[in-house]
Amino acid sequence: MQQSEKTAPRARVKESRREKWREKKEARRISAIPKQQRISHVSASDKVAPYLLSLPAFLIVFIFVFLAALNTIRLAFTDSTMLVPGHFIGIQNFLDIKNDPYFKYAIVNSSLYVVCVVPFMVILPLILANLVRGNTKIMDFFRTSFYMPVVMSAVVVGMIWTNLLDSHGLVNSFFLAVHWVQKPIPFLTDRWLLLFSCMFVTIWLGLGYYMVIYLTALANIDESLYEAAQLDGCNAAQEFIHVTMPGCRPTMILVMMLSTIAAFRVFNEVYVMTNGLGGPGGEDMTMSMLIQQEGTGLQAHTGYASALSIIVLLIVGVLLIIENVLQRRLDR
């Protein structure tokens, strides 16, 4: 809070924000808390409060996700299939991964996904949220519309985009009609273009989702900050950089984390855009698709799929740690 400010508007902005809170605090303090209860000391109930508060969430997460996942760890060291329990085989599954022809594709594609998609997911929805703030009917309409892709089923999304992007689709028909290209662009059949097409769909889907998260963060930025910025003659872009982005910083970090996890584990978009095959030759397979291919069905190789799951877990964990470290570096 006490860092020196680089720019004048920011300093003023901070000061005015602080004033706001003081007023607010005053109002709350008087109205919200019943008088007779204001005297008590740090009580026993305060000590157990954090445990009671987090207990329901802890129990549900622990029992239904954490415990269930322990089974995955056990399976990873066996040659189990879906219906046959199998034996302990040490780290053989992990050794097999090295020779898996798909793994090479999957790890490259999933990593590329993170690199290419995350920056867009952090910035674009924030800009969009900035454009649809305000409680007018027209903004209600835009906000609701922009959220629509999020609630559409993956199958429908896949159907729509494959139809739009294939060689006879609307996009190629248009490009051909205006003579931008001589022959159809292979959006769905070229290894790299297909991956980029999938990324596009991911961003298309994610815009509304992260926009909603950003909207709440924007609500916490004081209107007077924008006024102050305008008085200092900031234009829209400067306002965005000096007021909006600092005000949403924690949320941007959160979105970065969430979209990193989602991007590395991308499944639906690639699955529906490639009919579950991972593109020609399986070259567009992602880690989650590989896990799904190996780990579902009546003859699933659950042991091997579990080993792959653990690899994914470790990689995403490392990615998050790296992001955390980088972010702390930037803070200093």
Partner 1 sequence: MKQHKVTVGKFFQYLILVLVFILLVGPLIWEISLSFKGPRDNVYAVPPYIIPKSPTWNNYVKVFHQVPIFRYMLNTLIVAALSIFGNVAFSTMAGYALARLKWHGRKLVYLMIMVTMIIPVEGVIISQFLIMRALNLQNTLLAVALPGMVGAINILLMTNAMAAIPNELEEAAEVDGASVWQRFIHICVPECKGTMTVVGIFAFVGSWNDFLWPLIVLSDENKYTLTLGMNRLKGIFIQDPRLIAAGAMVALIPIIVFFLCFQRYFFRGLEQGALKG
Partner 2 sequence: MKSQIMKGLGVIAAAAMLVPMAACGTNSASSSNKDSLKGTVTFETWNLKNDKYTPFLTKAIKTYEKNHPGSHIKWLDAPSDGYTQKLSTEAAAGELPDIIDGGPAVVYPLAKAGALLNLSKEDPSAKNLYTEGAWNAVTFHGNGMQVGAYGYPWYVNDGPMYWNTKLMKQCGISTDKLPETWDEYFAAAKTMTKNCKNVYMSTMIGGATDDYASAGIKIMNPSQTKYIFNTPKAVKHLQQFVDLYKAGGIPPEALSATWSQQADFFQRGSIIAMGGSAYSAAGFKENAPDLYKNLAVGPKISDEGRSASVSYDSLSIAKTCKNPKLAMDFTRFITNSKNQLEFDKLSSCFPSTKGTINDPYFKKASSGSDLQSQAVKITMKAVTKGYSNRPPMMSDADGWNYLQQQAALALQGKQTAKQALDKAVDFANSRLR
Of the pair 120, 271, the CB lying nearest partner 2 is at: 271
Q: Does 135 contact partner 1 by CB under 8 A?
A: yes
Residue 216 partner contact from partner 2, partner 1, none using kind-dependent CB cut-offs of 5 to 8 Å: partner 1
Residue 246 partner contact from partner 2, partner 1, none using kind-dependent CB cut-offs of 5 to 8 Å: none
Of 116, 122, 108, residue with least CA distance to 327: 122
Instruction: Please pick, from the candidates 77, 113, 291, 301, the single residue that binds partner 1 as defined by CB under 8 A.
Output: 291
Binding mask 103-142 for partner 2 (x = CB under 8 A): ----------------------------------------
Q: Does 15 contact partner 1 by CB under 8 A?
A: no
Q: Give the helix ranges, DSSP H, for 132-190.
A: 137-151, 154-165, 170-177
Contacts of 204 (CB under 8 A, 6+ apart): 149
Binding mask 71-90 for partner 2 (x = CB under 8 A): x--x-------xxxx-----
Q: Does 305 contact partner 1 by CB under 8 A?
A: yes
Q: What are phi and psi of 189, to 5 degrees?
A: -125, -15
Of the pair 154, 253, the CB lying nearest partner 2 is at: 154
Give the span between the Cα atoms of 4 and 122, in whole angstroms.
26
State the burial class of residue 210 (Cβ atoms within 10 Å of its Cβ: 0-12, 13-18, 19+). buried
Give the span between the Cα atoms of 218 and 240, in whole angstroms.
11
Q: Does 275 contact partner 1 by CB under 8 A?
A: no
Q: What are phi and psi of 234, to 5 degrees?
A: -75, 140
* 3-state secondary structure at position 88: strand
Looking up tokens 């909006």, which residue turns up? Answer: 244
Q: Does 276 contact partner 1 by CB under 8 A?
A: no
Per-residue burial over 58-95, b if 16 or more Cβ lie within 10 Å, else e, is eeeeeeeeeeeeeebeebbbbbbbeeeeeeeeeeebee
Residue 164 partner contact from partner 1, partner 2, none using kind-dependent CB cut-offs of 5 to 8 Å: partner 1
Q: How far is the CB of 78 from partner 2 (least distance, A)?
A: 11
Of the pair 112, 218, the CB lying nearest partner 1 is at: 218
Inter-axis angle of helices 137-151 and 191-219, to 10 degrees?
A: 140
Residue 112 partner contact from partner 2, partner 1, none using kind-dependent CB cut-offs of 5 to 8 Å: none
Instruction: Please pick, from the candidates 279, 287, 308, 311, the single residue that binds partner 2 as defined by CB under 8 A.
Output: 279
Q: How far is the CB of 294 from partner 2 (least distance, A)?
A: 5
Site residues for partner 2 per CB under 8 A: 63, 67-68, 70-71, 74, 82-85, 101, 162-163, 166-168, 186, 188-189, 274-282, 293-294, 296-301
